[in-house]
Amino acid sequence: MYLEFYGLKENPFNVTSDPGFLYLSDTHKEALDHLVYGIKERKGFIEITGEIGAGKTTVCRALLNYLDENTRTSIIFNSSLPESQLLEAILLDFGITPRRRSKGAFLRELNGFLLEQLSEGNNAVLIVDEAQNLRNPTLETVRMLSNLETEKEKLLQIILVGQPQLREKLDSPELLQLRQRISVRFHIKALKREELRKYIEHRLTVAGYSGDIIFNDEAIDLIARYSGGIPRVINVVCDKSLLLGFVRETALIGRSIIQRSIEELRGNYSLAAA
């Protein structure tokens, strides 16, 4: 709606997890570094946590650009699938169409695939997003997948990505065997104020903006306080603010526009009263 007014090619503050908009803040870079390290070193289990909207899915999607062609990946975004369907989804995402549809057959096919990858000098990675939703029996099956190994190395690197409840879940006594196997873990943190400013600028630039700074210092302070440095919340406020700026015909987003946007997000105002 406001794209033309600001000279933007696309919406800078969409809430999809588009890796094309990735801003490598310290915490997102560290998350990627941990992932790449864990995969290359064949560490088996890797756990990535972060608050809601902190950028976990974005990091998973971006990770694919950091892996070489010898690394085969399977990404599961729907972690609430029943066990057997989850195994099938894993196979399909590795590019294998199972010949028979049973849990045992899926496991055999997976094992065969992993051994084949090893013989070709390849590495295999399973990424499970929203892993806090995995039921305990499914987590147990996932743990068993990690038993596929040679004497020297893990055939499958398994990345569990989830909200902080994932950590609590893995702390339960019945998942002790799995927890002990996690050798790399990282928690994605909120953006610091200075990073938040750069994050906003980065997204504007990727969206094609080439003008002067839109958000002034006061605006950044207010966004930092309201969002707690969580990217998805930052996006929602910024999107509202650009819309409000467009309504007011100004490209300078300052205190009053941010305040009004936040009020509106809290449900206290409507844009009609802008």
Ligand X SMILES: Nc1ncnc2c1ncn2[C@@H]1O[C@H](COP(=O)(O)OP(=O)(O)OP(=O)(O)O)[C@@H](O)[C@H]1O
Q: Which of 25, 49, 57, 141 binds Mg ion (CB under 5 A)?
A: 57
Among Mg ion, ligand X, none, the one that 23 touches (CB under a kind-dependent 5 to 8 A) is ligand X
- Identity of the residue, 126 or 155, whose beta carbon is nearer to Mg ion in the bound complex: 126
| Shortest separation between residue 51's beta carbon and Mg ion, angstroms | 11
Does 123 contact Mg ion by CB under 5 A?
no
User: Distance between CA atoms of 217 and 220, rounded to whole angstroms?
Assistant: 5
Determine if 79 is a binding residue for Mg ion (CB under 5 A): no
List residues binding ligand X (CB under 6 A). Answer: 14-18, 21-23, 25, 28, 50, 52-58, 163, 231-232, 235
Q: How far is the CB of 85 from Mg ion (least distance, A)?
A: 20
Residue closest to 224 by CA, chosen among 203, 196, 244: 196
54 contact choice in Mg ion, ligand X, none (CB below 5 to 8 Å, kind-dependent) = ligand X
89 or 188, CB closer to ligand X?
A: 188
The answer to whether 236 and 13 are in contact (CB under 8 A) is yes
CA distances from 205 to 78, 210, 223, 226 (A): 32, 7, 19, 23
For Mg ion, which is the closer residue by CB, 57 or 117? Answer: 57
Rounded CA separation 92/89 (Å) = 5
**Closest approach of Cβ 194 to Mg ion, in Å?**
25
Closest among 259, 255, 244, 241 to 203, alpha carbons compared: 241
Select 231 or 245, whichever has its Cβ closest to Mg ion. 231
Q: How many residues bind Mg ion (CB under 5 A)?
A: 2
Return the number of other C-beta atoms located less than 10 Å from residue 215's C-beta: 23
With binding defined as CB under 5 A, does residue 235 bind Mg ion?
no
Residue nearest to ligand X (CB): 55
Tokens 């630039």 belong to which residue?
Answer: 205
Least distance to ligand X, CB of residue 255, Å: 24
* Residue 7: how many other CB atoms lie within 10 Å: 12
Interaction partner, residue 245 (Mg ion, ligand X, none; CB < 5-8 Å by kind)? none
**Which residue lies nearer to ligand X by CB, 15 or 64?**
15
- Tell me the closest approach of the beta carbon of residue 63 to ligand X, in angstroms: 12
Sign of CA dihedral 184, 66, 23, 133: negative
Nearer to Mg ion, 43 or 56 (CB): 56
3-state secondary structure of 159: strand
- Strand ranges of the sheet holding 182-188, from the earlier edge strand across to the other edge: 71-76, 123-128, 156-162, 45-50, 182-188
Q: Which residue is nearest to Mg ion (CB)?
A: 57
Using left for φ > 0, alpha for ψ between -120 and 50, and beta otherwise, residue 247 falls in alpha
Question: Which lies closer to Mg ion via its Cβ, residue 56 or residue 72?
Answer: 56
Grouping H, G, I as helix, E, B as strand and the rest as coil, residue 217 is helix
**Min CB(203)–ligand X separation in Å:** 6
Task: Establish how many alpha carbons lie within 13 A of residue 55's alpha carbon, considering only the half-sphere containing its beta carbon.
Answer: 29
Which residues are at the interface with Mg ion (CB under 5 A)? 56-57
